[in-house]
Amino acid sequence: MQPIYSTCGHCEYCLTGRENLCPNKQVTGETVDGGYAEYVLADADYVYKVPSSIDPETSSPLFCPGITAYGAVKKASLSPGKTAYVVGIGGVGHMVVQMAKLYGARVVGVSTSKEHQELALKVGADEVVDPGKDYSRVTPKVADSVIVFSPSQMAIDASLRLVKPGGTVVIGVNGDLRQFAFGDEVTVRGTVVGTRQDMKEVLQLAAQGKIRVEATKFPLKQANEVLKKLKNGQINGRAVLIPRSSQPEFLNFSDDFFSVPVRPYFLEGVGQLPFRVYQKRGALGRAGGAKYPV
Ligand SMILES: [Zn+2]
């Protein structure tokens, strides 16, 4: 399951391939119960089959940071020969670096953390930049595209300085565009997760070995300690919580939903999402059809 738990299926966004913008969508762990549990209920239309070549535990973050990075990179107008700056090399940022490389762009990682700079290089960044604690050391107007996932106003300000006239800034965090200058004709875009088709493509890229997740596993019972580490920036990449049960089991809850025992969860701030679902053997989705997006 990815963050989108369900959508209405008939609004202008659902009908035009932008279901992530559906005003009636339900979000796993936010508007409906999510993880930090051994079981979760899911709508059959919104679960995914995980390719067997992917390690089910460490690749769980594909289902939020992975698809979030994918949605952002698709909006960043990248192509071979272009230079992309990735501001913030955390759980999402280290996926953005890998996906931007797939477009043939030169990718520069920007982070104030030594560990995160090393992570950027490890996953394929051509170069890293330490912008200084206050982001005062960034060189202006050097990036064709800037992708920002660092949740800081200084990072957003720095991104608007980094971008070249006519370039694109894709922002996946909240903040103000107080340094926006219309005269440079910069395109600024927001981005939020992605569609079921995007998720399917992310899984294919992972199955082909083109992207991978940097993740550390912890037992579910250590959730509170791990959240503390996350808050203090002591997690490199993503943390994955592994519930005690390692064997899939199935429960039958209703005709409309089937149970999806989920084992590992990954931590996304204070939210969490199940990472792997197991379809109940013989279960049919809603309306009696197996309409799994896989
Ligand atoms: Zn809709």
Q: Which of 64, 93, 72, 120 is nearest to 266 (CA)?
A: 64
Distance 4 CA to ligand 1 centre (A): 11
CB-hemisphere CA count at 13 Å for 258?
A: 21
Q: What is the pLDDT of residues 5-33, one digit of tens each?
A: 999 999 999 999 999 999 999 998 889 88
- 56 class by beta-carbon count within 10 Å (0-12 exposed, 13-18 middle, 19+ buried): middle
Using CA atoms, how far apart are residues 264 and 239, in angstroms rounded to an integer?
Answer: 10
Distance 121 CA to ligand 1 centre (A): 39
Largest interatomic CA distance in the chain? 59
Distance 27 CA to ligand 1 centre (A): 13
Query: How many CB atoms lie under 10 A from the CB of residue 198?
Result: 21
| Torsion sign, CA atoms 80, 85, 90, 93 | negative
Distance 75 CA to ligand 1 centre (A): 21
Using CA atoms, how far apart are residues 240 and 217, in angstroms rounded to an integer?
Answer: 5
pLDDT bin (cut points 50, 70, 90) of residue 268 is very low
pTM of the model: 0.81
Contacts of 224 (CB under 8 A, 6+ apart): none
Distance 12 CA to ligand 1 centre (A): 7
Using CA atoms, how far apart are residues 68 and 65, in angstroms rounded to an integer?
Answer: 5
Identify which has the larger pLDDT, 254 or 172. 172
Which of 78-82, 88-92, 149-153, 245-249 is the least confident region?
245-249
The pLDDT score that the predictor gives to residue 95 is: 96
45, pLDDT greater than 60: yes
pLDDT bin (cut points 50, 70, 90) of residue 285 is very low
Domains of the chain: 4-51+216-288 (no CATH), 66-190 (3.40.50.720)
Distance 140 CA to ligand 1 centre (A): 40
Distance 288 CA to ligand 1 centre (A): 21
Q: What is the pLDDT of residues 209-263, one digit of tens each?
A: 999 998 888 888 888 898 898 888 788 778 888 876 554 444 444 444 444 444 3
Radius of gyration of the chain (CA): 19
Distance 195 CA to ligand 1 centre (A): 12
Distance 25 CA to ligand 1 centre (A): 7
Contacts of 230 (CB under 8 A, 6+ apart): 239, 267, 269
Using CA atoms, how far apart are residues 154 and 226, in angstroms rounded to an integer?
Answer: 26
